[in-house]
Amino acid sequence: MRRNSGVGELGVAFWFLVAAFFALMMGRARAETAPAAAPVVASVSQPAPALDEGPSAVDVAAKAFRGQVLFSDVMIAPASAFPSGDAMVGALQRLKRSSVQGTDGFWRLHAVAFPNPLPPGGTYRLRATDTTGGKDRKQIKVFEINAPAGQSELQISDLVLTDVMGFQRGHRYELAVVGGADEDAGAGKGDVYAQGVITLM
């Protein structure tokens, strides 16, 4: 009885080993026949093509007010503050004035000029001439203006005119942008790149 029991145990162990070996072979076969994983490819996004945004706000305004100096009694925002050229042109149309009010011989005004053509240098002068008498023109004062060379928009903020300088209430003045390097600018001559007329009230 003991001998038969030992033989039975050996048989069970033999078949257990056979089953384990068979399971191992099946697992290896499945691993060899499984499809290979697809390689991971990094996706590189291509930059979007640049869109043609059209002319800038200052370009549109410079075309609309070419060679002009516009005056206002309130601060004029720069071109960068406007969403479009049409918005800037509309705002300038509303803000521009042909006369400004003063107090006790003191006038403060703001201006923006659009030179045409653009002067070669970055230094300008603003020449004020009394044109009240028609052909009898009288130069009153020349102001220095500093701006980057080639700039098509000149912001002139807080321009102060006083009776001590020679300005008078009720008189009409031409303010002209001339080149800073022009020797004749202060003599009422020289190239004029932009001009406008304002009456002091």
Residues 9, 73 within the same domain: no
- Tokens of residue 87, six digits: 């918005």
Whether residue 52 lies inside any domain: the answer is no
Distance between CA atoms of residues 1 and 3, nearest Å: 5
| Rounded-to-integer distance, Cα 53 and Cα 56, Å | 8
In a domain? residue 129: yes
Average pLDDT over residues 84-91: 94
- Total domain count, the chain: 2
Strand ranges of the sheet holding 69-72, from the earlier edge strand across to the other edge = 69-72, 106-113, 154-162
Tens of pLDDT along 42-82?
333 344 444 456 789 989 999 999 999 999 999 998 888 99
List the domain range (segments joined by +) for residue 164.
66-200
Exposed, middle or buried, 75 (CB in 10 Å: 0-12/13-18/19+)? exposed
pTM: 0.69
Q: Where are the alpha helices (DSSP H) in the chain?
A: 2-33, 57-64, 85-95
Is 192 inside a domain boundary?
yes
pLDDT tens-digit profile of 155-200?
999 999 999 999 999 999 999 999 876 555 545 556 899 999 999 9
The residues pairing with 100 across neighbouring beta strands, listed in sequence order, are 200
| Same domain flag for 108 and 9 | no
